[in-house]
Chain A
Amino acid sequence: MIHIKDLHKSYKMGKNSLHVLKGINFNVEAGELVAIMGSSGSGKSTLLNILGMLDEADEGSYELDGVPIENLNETKAAQYRNKFLGFIFQSFNLINYKSALENVALPLYYQGVGRKERADKALMYLEQVGLKEWATHLPSELSGGQKQRVAIARAMAAEPKVLLADEPTGALDSKTSYEVMDLIQKINDQGNTILVVTHEPDIAEMCKRVVVLKDGVILEDKKVNQVRADQYVQ
């Protein structure tokens, strides 16, 4: 699904340049659930930004579902993001004046899906995350865990090839974190490819594979025995 070869990225800071990614080689197959770990400054966010087409690499190649991702302008990047990627953010990033349903339907709007179909689909995904009854509520009326579940439903709605989650549990307590991870595991069980950036070891254990980054290189890349989150839920 994702093929990355010899990826380099550096940022210019005045006269000095900061070499953040120093040659990353990394493949993800369809249906994997990968945790990307590392301390701050390890380059994990930069890697996720490049994967999410929010940033471009200086060197190396990136292929997503057989499509080489290169020479992106903003319009092209937006179209690829819409088609290939679903984002889950630490701070949820729901639009605060839109209801849960409208938030979930938004990526479909940008895909050009009709109004009626949009609402149906969005409701279906809300049901999947267990928030069908909350469809008409505004984000301000939802708890943190519910907001993240709406955000997950929104990421799913566009039916992306890959879900990218940037610290999805970073703003949640551990009980809610496990509920969210349970949901992510279940989505993964359906065959979706998911990448989770985290610095919490217990969250990483709940994935199927852990990639540890340090100082811009991959320190460790191992399969793990997945810890199911549902045992912690209720």
Chain B
Amino acid sequence: MFSRDTWNEIFDTIRKNKLRTFLSGFTVALGILIFIILFGFGNGLKNQFNEFFSDDSTNIIFLYPGKTSKPYKGFKSDRFIEFKNDDLSDIEENFSEFLEYVTPRISRGGNVKYKNESNNYSTRGVAPSHMFAERTIIMKGRYINEKDIEEKSKVIVIGRLVEKDLFKGTDPLGAYVDIAGSAFKVVGVFQDEGGDNEERSIYMPFTTRQLIERNNDLIDMMVVAFKPEIGYAGAMAFQKSLVDFLKNKKNIHPRDTNAMFVRNVADQYKQNQQFATILQIIIAFISIGTLIAGIIGISNIMVFVVKERTKELGIRKALGATPKQVISTILFESIFITTISGFVGLIIGIAVLNFTGEALKEFFIKNPYVDMGVSVAATIVLIIFGGIAGYVPAKRAANIKPIVALRDE
């Protein structure tokens, strides 16, 4: 059945019926091409989406102070709440079994000068563990450490773009920059996946910031990281007991929702993941739709091809072709064409995705790619359905009496 002669006969037919071959091949190649490009762009969309939301750690609760809206225990309403250094140590003491770390953050703006360059950057007074909360990546030097906190050292870690703006390629480590009138020594340079704004900020020890501001012990906000193994439900429970603890400590009415604000990344992360999953389902739906359209296309063409060849098949049968030979001629021809063109479409599709690369980042498509297994599977599905689509009409044609087929002028 697979003799060289059979293949010669098939190649001969393919070679001498170029339009037909082109049409069926084109349908398959286009189907696979569109499938791969859609799927790749879909993945790119998802990648971009994940990047937006994976900047920070996911086991984080942000706590912001607010203003009371209810009087409580003799305190009037409209009282401003402040977080202080002892809040940090109290949290560490009372929640040690859930807690991974806690860090303050004191955000300020400020004019930063180095030699002739100056610009406004946001500065953040933080503790060393803040590095994990923001997923800060150190490129040069080091991050703020415990010694800096204790000694209230005037050291800073600058963002990649700050380095680019101020230092113009010279080595920033060990250099002194002027921030609102005091000199700070640069000890490190960082980068952050969170984008340009993140990379235009400057970190310093929070104790140094407090020293500058008349040696107070106020902190703007707290970033509390829980142990990831406590899970989503554990995180929610932890958040509640943490808020209850702070409300109690600061004499806030238990049902006062304005005194403190909580942002739980785990909660957000969960919603985002759900959104990403829905996105993926939509993409899969569209891709499968494209594939089905391809299958219908190739089926139509195969029905037409067999119809067109009815007379030829009748002649072949009159000359002694068995039904099996008739079917295998058509089947192998269609499988051969769909296989070749399917893989042509596959290669073009992957080439297009590679070529696109980061060019469509503006349109929220980042690093579009298709899993090789998925694309090969899609191609094989199309080949199989192309085969079935050829087999059904071929079988019917093979069973037509030659005299009927020949009468068909």
| Chain A residues at the B interface, C-beta cutoff of 8 Å | 49, 52, 54-55, 74-75, 78-79, 81-83, 87, 89, 91, 93-95, 97-98, 102, 106-107, 109-111, 114-115, 154, 158
Contact = CB atoms under 8 A, between A and B. Distances in A.
B5 interface: yes
Interface residues of B, number: 28
Nearest to B324: A75
Contact of B318 (A54, A79, A102, A109): A54
Contacts of A75: 322-324
> Which residue, of A52, A82, A158, has the highest number of chain B Cβ atoms within 10 A?
A82
B322 A109 contact: no
A79 B320 contact: yes
Nearest to A114: B5
> Which residue, of A49, A106, A114, has the highest number of chain B Cβ atoms within 10 A?
A106
B9 A109 contact: yes
Given A91-B406, A94-B315, A109-B5, 20 more contacts: A55-B401, A74-B323, A74-B398, A78-B320, A78-B321, A78-B323, A81-B317, A81-B319, A82-B320, A83-B320, A89-B406, A93-B315, A95-B312, A95-B316, A98-B12, A109-B9, A110-B319, A110-B322, A115-B5, A158-B319
Interface in B292-324: 311-312, 314-324
Interface string B311-354: 11011111111111100000000000000000000000000000
Contact of A107 (B319, B323, B409): B319
Contacts of B13: 97
Nearest to B409: A91
> Which residue, of A52, A93, A98, has the highest number of chain B Cβ atoms within 10 A?
A93
A95 B317 CA distance: 12
A106 B318 contact: no
B322 A78 contact: yes
A54 B401 contact: yes
Contact of B317 (A78, A83, A102, A158): A78
B403 A106 contact: no
A91 B9 CA distance: 24
Given A54-B402, A74-B398, A89-B406, A115 B8 contact: yes
B403 A49 contact: yes
A75 to B, nearest CB: 5
B320 A54 contact: no
22 contacts: A52-B403, A54-B318, A54-B401, A54-B403, A55-B403, A75-B322, A78-B320, A78-B321, A82-B320, A82-B321, A89-B406, A93-B406, A95-B312, A95-B315, A97-B16, A102-B12, A106-B316, A110-B316, A110-B320, A110-B322, A111-B320, A114-B5
Contacts of B316: 95, 106, 110
A57 to B, nearest CB: 14
Contacts of B89: none
A98 B322 contact: no
B319 A74 contact: no
